[in-house]
Amino acid sequence: MLVSAKDMLNKAKAGKYAVGQFNINNLEWTKAVLLTAQELNSPVILGVSEGAGKYMTGFKTVASMVKAMIEELNITVPVALHLDHGTYEGCYKCIEAGFSSIMFDGSHYPIAENVEKTKELVKVCAEKGMSLEAEVGSIGGEEDGVVGMGECADPNECKMIADLGVTMLAAGIGNIHGKYPENWAGLSFETLDAIQKLTGDMPLVLHGGTGIPEDMIKKAISLGVAKINVNTECQLSFAAATRKYVEEGKDLQGKGFDPRKLLNPGFEAIKATVKEKMELFGSVGRA
């Protein structure tokens, strides 16, 4: 069932668990995430970066594929199709393409401009029954060309954006896209706590879910995080399983070169990673 992320995230915030956003890249990714969510009776968010949208030939292709797959696989758990780190223009493209949720990443604009653009999108999303994620502060590292310095969000600016009526708020708290460096200082729970105190019931979003230790994930959830984004970890699992298959020479045995066989270990590896994360985030059985 394709839905906005609003209800699932409000329930998660109230129930002290988090819904996973898993970024998709192609048919195998989408199928693996949807089937795992259904098997575990968990709500789920499919994240699509602008780069991945382009790779899949455009947002309309993505929306059509996801909607058709939900129907043909009989997926009954709540699924949100969400633009990840959207530009202002990208947001409008996804609204038109039939996404159920968007993220407007205005974090690189001066706060007044971030507020102005977010405010406009709050209105548009409300009219369409879509959910909207906004961002304050920045997520460190790089994802599909979106680069952030990783500065922690100003809690007062978070309140300003939350008060506009967004559905969920991503705030930089020392988190980074991709693998964490050896000398990573960890999440700033002080910042998270201050943000949660000022923004009340607002579901908070933790980007850069790959490689954050379990105890930090649990503490973040206890301080109001209700959505956690995972991208790189599924890519690493897929790559490792595919590498093993090829290195064992399985693509050369019988019809092992058939793409449905060649891509299957990677598909199963994504499923295992998604399952592990859903169990850790506490969303199993919450559909």
Catalytic residue numbers read 84
Q: Which residues bind ligand 13P (CB under 6 A)?
A: 23, 47, 84-85, 143, 177-178, 207-210, 229-233
SS3 132: strand
**Alpha carbons 19 and 286: distance in angstroms, whole number:** 9
User: Looking at beta carbons only, is 101 or 245 nearer to ligand 13P?
Assistant: 101
> Whole-number minimum distance, CB 81 to ligand 13P, in Å?
14
**Alpha carbons 76 and 79: distance in angstroms, whole number:** 8
SS3 257: coil
> Whole-number minimum distance, CB 177 to ligand 13P, in Å?
4
**Alpha carbons 231 and 24: distance in angstroms, whole number:** 8
> Whole-number minimum distance, CB 251 to ligand 13P, in Å?
28
As given in the structure block, the two tokens for residue 152 are: 């922690």
**Alpha carbons 150 and 185: distance in angstroms, whole number:** 12
Residue written as token pair 């977010």: 118
User: Looking at beta carbons only, is 28 or 251 nearer to ligand 13P?
Assistant: 28
User: Looking at beta carbons only, is 203 or 245 nearer to ligand 13P?
Assistant: 203
**Alpha carbons 9 and 43: distance in angstroms, whole number:** 9
Measured at the alpha carbon of residue 29, what is the angle toward residues 24 and 35, in degrees to the nearest 5?
115
User: Looking at beta carbons only, is 124 or 236 nearer to ligand 13P?
Assistant: 236
> Whole-number minimum distance, CB 179 to ligand 13P, in Å?
8
